Structures are given as C-alpha cells and as structure tokens.
Amino acid sequence: MLPAQKFSELLGELDRLDRLPHSNSALQNRGHNILGALLRHAGYSSGAIWLQGPVSRSLLLAARTPDFECPSELSRTLPLRILDRSGNGESEEWSRDYETMQPAPHTLVPLRRNETPLGLVALRRDQDEIDGGTLELLEAAASYLSMLLTAQRMADEAREGDFQLKYRLWELESLYDIGLSIASTLDQQELSDEILIRTISLLNARRAALYLRKGEQYEMFRSFGEVRGQFFGSEIDPDSFSGLLKNQSPIRLSEGADCLFPGCETLIAVPVATATEMVGVLAVADKELRDGGVGGFDEKDVRLLQQFATQAAMALENARLHKDALEKQAIERELELAATIQRDILPRTIPTFPGMEIEVLARPARQLGGDYYTFIEREEGMSLCVADVSGKSVPAAILVSALHAALQLLFDEGRELGEIATELNRHIHHWSSETKFITLILATIDRENGLIRYVNAGHNPGYLVPPGGSLEILHSHGLPIGLMSDSRYSVQTRPLPAGSLITFYSDGITEADDETGDEFGSERLEALLLREHAAPVKSIRSSIDAAVQEFVGGAPQRDDQTLVLVRV
Amino acid sequence: MMTEELKVTVVRREGGAILYTRGYINNVGGEEIANQAYELIDQGVTTLLLNLRETKIVNSIGISILIEIIEKMMEKEGRLGFCCLTPVIQKTFQIMGLAQYAPIFQDEEAAIREFEL
C-alpha cells in the first residue's frame, strides 16, 4: 500500500474518534480505537496507549495489546519527539516508565500540544528495522492526533463551562423552588424529602440524612442511603463533632466519616438553626467523581449545604408555628365551649319574685370567669348566692361548675343556709386542691317575716340599706369555703323592712384599680348606696357601673365584676 | 429511608426499546443506563424511550451521562426521549439543556404514540 494511501486511511480513521471521554470506560474505548488504527496502518504488532484522564489529567493507560505489559499511569515527562530504537529517532534516554514495558517497545510516539502532554503511544513491531516512511507517517499522525485532541479538549472545556453555568442556574432554581414549597406546604416529611433530594442532586452526594433535635439528642428524621444509627451523636467521636454541636460550625471530614454513614469516605455536616436555637443537623456523604470514585467536598459544597440547612430550618420553624397556631385555636375553641357551659350555669335572665326588684351586673375579666351568682326560689321567699372562686380561667371555671352543682343539690334537699355552707365546705375541701377555695355570701330573703338570713364565708361584706337610709354591713363571719375541712357556718339574721336595698358584690367591683393602681374601694360604693338607695335598682346598678368605669379610666379590667341588687 | 441503587429494565419493542429506571441516576446509575443504551444502539436500535417513573433523584454526573447518550443517539441519527418525570427532574432537564435535544412526555402512552414504538 502506498504511504499516501496509508496516511489518508489512518487520518480518516482518527477523524472518526468520539469526542473527549468523561469516564474511564470511554477513555479505554477511545484508546482502543487509536491504538488499533496505528497498529493497522503503521505496521506494528503490539503496544499500548496512555491518554489524559478525564479528571486528574494525568496520563492513564487507555488500551494495550494483551502481550504488552506496561504501567497503568505515566509521569508527565514525555519525549520531545518520536523515539525509535532503530536509531532513527532522537537518542534521548528512555525514562524509567518506559523501561518497565515488556517486551520493550520499538517506538514511542508522544502526543502533546506545546508544553501540554496529551498522551503517549508505545509500539512494538516484529522486526528491529523500520523504514523512514513509517516514522514520517507516525509523526504526521501524532501531529494530527494532538491537534484533534486539543481542539476537542477546548470544545469540551467550552461544553463544561456551559454545563457549569446551567448547573449554577439549577442550584439557584432549586433554592427558589424549596422556598416556594416551604410557602405552600407544612408537611415536614414532604419538605424534608425535597430538601434531601435536592441536596444530594446538587452536591453529587451518595447519601444524606436530616436529624432533628429531640431533647439532648438529634434523632434521624429522614435519610437517603444507608445510615449508621438512629441518633446523631451516639457513635461519633465527640472531638470531631464538637465544633458542630457546641459552636454550630460546619464540619468537613475525610477521616472518621464512617461514624454516620457506614463505609463512607467523606462527609460534611452543618447545623440546622433557627434564629434562637439549633434544631437539627443536615449531613451528606460521599461526593461522586466523574471517573466513578469518591472525592472530598469543598468549601463551595459546605456553603451550598448551609443554604439548604437554612431552608430546612425555615420549613421546620413554619411547621412549628403552624402547629402552635393550631393548638392555640384548639384551646380557644375549648375555652369558648367552657365559656358557653359557664354562661349556661349563670342565670340567663333575671328571675322575678313577688315583691322583689332585682338587678345584676356580671362582667368577667376573661373568657372564663371565677365569679358566680344564682337565685333559688324557696317556700319563705328567695335565696341567692354571690361567690368568687380562687384562681382564673379554666381551673376557676371548673370550681364554679362544682359549686353550682353542689349548691343546687343542697338547696334541693331543703337544708338551712348554715348546713348548706358547712356541707359545701366539706365537699369542696375534699374534691379540690388545697389552694382552691371559694368566698361566698348566701342569703335567704323572708318577706313574710321581714327578715334576711345569711352566711358570709370570707366574702366581701354585703350591704343592707333600709328605707331610713342607714347602712348595715353584713360582715364575713366564717372562713372561705374549702379552706379548712372542719369549718362550720352559722346563720346570721337581720330585720328586713319593706323597701330595703340589699347589695352583694364581688371584689372585682371594690378592687377595680385605675392606671395608677388606686382601688375604687368600699367607701365609694357605700357612699353611692347611701346617696342613691331610694332610686330604682336599675338606676343604682347603672350608677355603680358608671362610677367604677369612670374611676378606672383606661386601665384594663383585672378581675371579674359581679353586682347583685335586690329591693324588697 | 429512600433507596439509592439504580435498576434498569429493558423492554424491546418493534420500533425500538423502553428503558425503565428505578433509583438514583448518579455516576453508577448513569453508567448502567449508558451500558444498556449503547448495547441497544450497537444492536441497531435507533429509538429509545427512558421511562423515569420510579426515579426521584438525578445528579449532575448522571445528567452528563444522559447527555452523552443523547449525543450518541444523535450521531446515529436515532431518537431518544424521556417520559414520566417528576416535576423536579423535568425542570432539571429543562435547565440543563436535555429537553432541547430529547423530547419529554408526560406519560408513556404519549411517548409510544409519538415514537411509534
């Protein structure tokens, strides 16, 4: 075959080579094609080829014939031009790399572009002699191949640049999409999976795990790939992770990484922290390389993982706030239900009794009040009770409910007031905690005999204003209900001339305070009763209410306010 | 715990082949797909459909391998398409340029109709 024809066929074959390989298998495929073309067209019988690797850029063995022993990687020192043992080439010394080749090659063909090594072909022929045409053919082929490899390398670098630009866009879009997901769902598991998936994808990691704080430990919440344990920190070297757990600093490990992910070579772990506390740990392991191996994570990877951890923290915080809001709503619903029950306990309307005029002011300070009042029809007239239980809100409401039930039962049994108070004390003391007690004033209005019988158990004094205008104070004469188990209560009796005004109230009236902390006080109430006792009870109620409101001004109401006025 | 290993199942059809993937398309997974695809291409198959219904994750190395497969298919003047992608993977393919050269179908039926498989 003519040299020109050989040359044309060889170049034609080389021209059909694939573009630069990204993987070792593709590198081998390419090496096999180049070596095969050179052996076929230049008259050699065996040999090997080394090409620049896809990642390390060192010269890696890409292909060899079965009978040719040689190193898997070469140093970057290449001969300046083709060397041939027949003496036609330069008489440079063959490096140690080349001496290890068995059988010894006849020709070494360097592939280089200026100072950049691209590859080397070692060839062995059956005879020692070589004709000049073959060396010229190899020189031309090497030159063409070098140019081809360089052009493809540049094209590949441009492609890689384009890929990296798109990768950055992918990174930004991923962070943006997670933000959207956080805004659209509160499912912690779903969000965590999305964060893990995107983290693994963008960091080229093989494994990842998200741990959430549970007491003093971090428990694995979601993971991808095999993870060593359920808890972060249970099997780790405390020194390796102290920076993360104590100072919330990211850590990057290339040794000791096996503690979280079995068989893992490299990992990074970053804190998942809200504005106030560290709530978790996000860790990824084994960064993949294009050649199939595993490499270390770099600072850029740490920064990206921290961004994902920040997103995770936001998602977790949102979910927690939502959970809190739901719980608050549930509590409010329960309070509203309890308030409804309590409203049903208190009289819905003011009852009417022959010869009596009644007015009530009831204003709880909260949704649930601790004040109680009731009216009960009796043979001799009417009984009433005004009470104030200790505490506020739900506990107070429960005690009010217990008081109501017990009081209704005891009145139904027809007992007299002293017995009712004594029994009530025993009952409340037995069934409620030691810190719970009730102050109350119980009274029965006996119009027929013109008397008022009452028991005042630690409550604010009641007032009795007969038509003449003097004010009689119905002082407490016993301990509050529920305070001592063996308290006994006696009934007090006072004359009750027709036209008298009876006033019972809770301390929310007399202890209503203004913005400076001064209380309305009993003196103001007594003065008002003396001044207006002859007026209609509705008018008296309005006057007391207005006086209290005017006194407190803009100060918030701190306690329940109850006022019961009865004209006989 | 989510799984990571990729499994590829090949179903030959009259007009080409469908590759069903399950798992992580990373380096190892991508090479597995490439091996199967190149084997089919070497056998003369010119229409390939990758059904990624059971793949939730793909990384940049997996993507670069998929690009190589697309290019290989274009060299052979064949066709390659994807179907049943998760929204995350579909968006990733669009950003990374795969969708420019390989059509993405919402479901397998649409892909089979278009590719006449």
The ipTM, to two decimals, is 0.89
Give pLDDT, residue A90: 46
Q: Stretch A239-256: mean pLDDT, rounded?
A: 80
Q: For residue A170, give the nearest of B1, B31, B92 by CB distance.
A: B92
Contacts of B2 in chain A (CB under 8 A): 193, 196-197, 222-225
For the segment A213-230, the average pLDDT, to the nearest whole number, is 85
- Please report, rounded to a whole number, the percentage of residues in chain A having pLDDT higher than 90: 37
Tell if the CB–CB gap between A288 and B61 is shorter than 8 Å. yes
Instruction: Kindly state the percentage of chain A with pLDDT values over 70.
Output: 93
Burial class, A85, CB count within 10 angstroms (exposed 0-12 / middle 13-18 / buried 19+) = middle
Report whether A278 contacts A213 (CB < 8 A). yes
Q: Which residues of chain B does A225 touch, with a Cβ-Cβ cutoff of 8 Å?
A: 1-2, 4
B56 touches chain A (CB under 8 A): yes
Q: Is residue A242 very low, low, confident or very high in pLDDT (cuts 50, 70, 90)?
A: confident
Token digits for A154? 């540049």
Q: How far is B93 from chain A (nearest CA, A)?
A: 9
Read out DSSP for A111-131? Answer: EEETTEEEEEEEEE-SSS---
Whether residue A384 has pLDDT greater than 90: yes
Predicted confidence (pLDDT) at residue A19 exceeds the cutoff of 60 = no
**Nearest residue of B to residue A197, measured between CA atoms:** B57
For residue A348, the model assigns a pLDDT of 84
What residues in B contact A206, CB-CB < 8 Å?
4, 24, 26
- Our CA-based measurement puts residue A25 at a distance from the nearest CA of chain B, in whole angstroms, of 9
Q: Nearest residue on chain A to B56, judged by CA atoms?
A: A197
CA distance B2 to chain A (A): 5
Give, in order, the Cα–Cα distances in Å from A111 to each of A76, A311, A475, A509: 11, 50, 115, 102
Name the band, by pLDDT with cuts 50, 70 and 90, for residue A495.
very high
pLDDT per position as a tens digit, A170-191: 888 888 888 887 777 778 888 8
Q: pLDDT tens, A44-103?
A: 999 999 998 766 668 889 999 999 998 888 875 788 888 887 764 444 555 566 777 888
Considering CB atoms only, which of A25, A170, A204 is closest to B61?
A204
pLDDT of residue A237: 63
Evaluate whether A336 touches A544 at the Cβ level (below 8 Å): no
Answer whether B58 touches A (CB < 8 Å): yes
Report yes or no: A477 at the B interface, CB cutoff 8 Å: no
Smallest CA–CA separation between A24 and chain B, in Å? 11
Choice between A360 and A101, residue whose per-residue pLDDT is larger:
A360
- Separation of CA A193 from chain center: 14
pLDDT in tens, A501-556: 999 999 999 999 998 989 999 999 999 999 999 999 999 999 999 999 999 998 88
Token representation of residue B108: 């397998």
Chain A contact present for B2, CB below 8 A: yes
Contact A169 B95 (CB under 8 A): yes
d(CA B18, CA B9): 8
Q: Does A557 score more than 90 pLDDT?
A: no
Per residue in A137-168, pLDDT (tens digit) is 898 889 988 988 888 778 878 888 888 889 88
The pLDDT value given to residue A8: 80
> How many angstroms separate the Cα of A350 from the Cα of each of A5, A258, A360, A387?
121, 77, 7, 17
Q: What is the average per-residue pLDDT within A446-467? A: 95
Q: How far is B56 from chain A (nearest CA, A)?
A: 8
In angstroms, the separation between the Cα of residue A203 and the nearest Cα of chain B is: 8
Distance CA A453, CA A385 (A): 12
For chain B, say whether A173 makes contact (Cβ under 8 Å).
yes
Task: State pTM to two decimals.
Answer: 0.58
Average confidence score pLDDT of chain A: 86
Mean pLDDT comparison of A93-97, A496-500, B74-78, highest-scoring range:
A496-500
Phi, psi of A218 (to 5 degrees): -115, 115
Out of B31, B58, B65, closest to residue A201 by CB:
B58
pLDDT at A113: 84
pLDDT above 60 for A496: yes
**Are B2 and A224 inside 8 Å of each other by CB?**
yes
pLDDT band at A235 (very low <50, low <70, confident <90, very high): low
Q: Best residue in A15, A20, A23, A157 to probe B by mutation, most B CBs within 10 Å?
A: A23
* Contacting A residues, span 271-290, partner chain B, CB-CB under 8 Å: 288-290
Hey, are the CB atoms on A169 and B60 less than 8 Å from each other?
Answer: no
Lowest mean pLDDT among A230-239, A297-306, A537-546: A230-239
Pick the residue with more confidence: B1 or A481? A481
Residue A478 has pLDDT above 50, yes or no: yes
Indicate whether A13 pLDDT > 80.
Answer: no
Average pLDDT over residues A210-231: 85
**Spatial separation of the C-alpha atoms in residues A355 and A224, rounded to whole Å:** 82
pLDDT value at residue A76: 57
